[in-house]
Structure 1
């Protein structure tokens, strides 16, 4: 039995790779190990099981590696190369050259210049309106070429309901330090959500829902030649079933969190020009609030890890996302605090 630690040691050695590599940088995430060489990146999924994913068996890890390759080739065909087996010979030696039985699988990718990532460019102030219009056109073309999810569109609404309940369960925990800020915003978001369910159902019926990217953030957008969007969410199809305006609005909000508020309207205008059917302001505001609360929750999830890193960072960042959610809900009257007090006195 080859354990994860042995695989990480092997893949952290530059001599393990069939192509020339003078160094390997290993990075650990919740779900994977990523090994970076000069021009390649290799992702090894951890044998983990969470409520939202299951990589616990070799067969499931192979399946989701193949899904990651398939899904990401939709928007980053030049980057995602192959799925390659990590093999073990009879004497217990690991290799990537095709000898022995497969003991795991890796997604092989070309390594993109970090300087071309949208988040880096925004921080450095070197993103143009033309760049953002090109991102909008790329995504609008992707959505317009996707099959409308009418039968499975209900998965989108079910996902919103499920994830909003988890948002409350996590953000409302006093021990995590943000419940005082989060609960009033959650209360209003829940009220708005209940009111807007008929509108969201109408968008599903009108074939406005597609299978999208699932995790569209600035760090996943590369302003290179060709422009590419990477790191699609592969482990749960229901989380990719989405309103394109929700996904694009979320990208715009993440850009706003980096100080670039001007990006969101440009993205939304690009989507409207290709797709039409922009949702009402109330629906768009709820989408934004929901995504910001979800991001706040994901920040706090770091505090629930067995080993907590940067413990002071996560509540602070969560509060900034909660404030952004409050701002979204206040875009349509009445404002958050007024609604919150009205409900408390009802």
Structure 2
């Protein structure tokens, strides 16, 4: 859900009053003891007692545009709607932040709407999968429960009406973006890390594209989660999966095993590489389906390269926080991508 807890830094000055209001315990009913503020790349989250209030920043990025109030409202409403299935009871609604006649700000009620908030129930962070992975406390039963939850979700999704060529075009466009970033000399990423994995991705699309085409023809591409990371999975009494991607539905269109490969890759980065094969085996049993090993390796390689790209692109921020972190993280992901090689031509 978030990166690190700290005072907001990369926040437009026009939001100073809003951030100050939402950071004050007295702005909430009931009044919490304190309000913790977490800044992500696109939002601010205000942890107030048992609830979280999410404020989307008025930013424009290559994949979204939240500069208008109407677009932020629409995205807040979409976020609540798309997360209902995997996180029932967590996303409580979208509420306006309003200014009343006396000039004061309020959450909900009458007045001029100045912004929108997503209101969420706060979950126990000690039960998040990333915490459990980092402390090596993930059990076989945990993996069973996660896969039961995900398999039930994927089985409910109708196959998308895509042609094999449309899917290949999407893959080529995505790899082009990743290639352009990771090959950009201004980021100074080691050529011996970037070149082998990027070459492997392009070679696969050129030589083994029929495996991707087959997945489309068999109806295996669905409207998935879109951002299936360990920090989005909570292993309480019921498995809860939050932060299903809402701002562009096409970014959710994927093979379930692509998402599983992503989840397993993130678990590997956190120190438990054994989780990935366990996830794949369990999902294969539950979905009665198993892609070729080389396709799974392609998915893993691409996902690791994508995460390397998203890491290094933090340096494009006007005032990047912890700039020394992102090249190190990007290189770690590139090493994970290299672990998948070679994968073209295998089955």
TM-score normalised by L of structure 2: 0.91
In the alignment, is the contact (CA less than 8 A) between 2:207 and 2:344 conserved in 1? Answer: no
In the alignment, is the contact (CA less than 8 A) between 1:123 and 1:258 conserved in 2? Answer: yes
Which aligned pairs between 1:179-194 and structure 2 lie closer than 5 A?
A: 179-180=190-191, 181-194=193-206
1:245 counterpart = 2:257: yes
Residue 6 of structure 2 corresponds to none
Q: C-alpha offsets along residues 256-313 of structure 1, whole Å, 9 cap, x if unaligned?
A: 1111111111211221112123111111111110000000001101111111222222
Structure 2 residue aligned with 1:41, among 52, 56, 67?
A: 52
Structure 1 residue aligned with 2:159, among 142, 148, 165?
A: 148
3-state secondary structure, aligned to 2:340: helix
Q: C-alpha offsets along residues 30-83 of structure 1, whole Å, 9 cap, x if unaligned?
A: 211110012111101111111111111111111111111111111001211111
1:256 counterpart = 2:287: no
3-state secondary structure, aligned to 2:123: coil
Residue 161 of structure 1 corresponds to 172
TM-score normalised by L of structure 1: 0.92
Residue 341 of structure 1 corresponds to none
**In 1: Cα distance, 2:246 partner to 2:17 partner:** 26
Change (3 A) 1:155 1:114: farther
Change (3 A) 1:176 1:15: same
In the alignment, is the contact (CA less than 8 A) between 1:25 and 1:36 conserved in 2? Answer: yes
Structure 2 residue aligned with 1:290, among 299, 302, 306?
A: 302
**In 1: Cα distance, 2:140 partner to 2:236 partner:** 15
Change (3 A) 1:262 1:154: same
Structure 1 alignment gaps of length 5 or more: 335-346
Which aligned pairs between 1:208-247 and structure 2 lie closer than 5 A?
A: 208-247=220-259
Residue 131 of structure 1 corresponds to 142
1:323 counterpart = 2:335: yes
Structure 2 alignment gaps of length 5 or more: 1-12
**In 2: Cα distance, 1:39 partner to 1:157 partner:** 44
Query: What count of residue pairs does the alignment treat as equivalent?
Result: 333
After alignment, is 179-188 or 214-223 more displaced? 179-188
Q: C-alpha offsets along residues 236-256 of structure 1, whole Å, 9 cap, x if unaligned?
A: 111100000000111011111
Structure 1 residue aligned with 2:104, among 90, 93, 99?
A: 93
Cα RMSD of the aligned pairs, angstroms, is 1.8
Residue 91 of structure 2 corresponds to 80
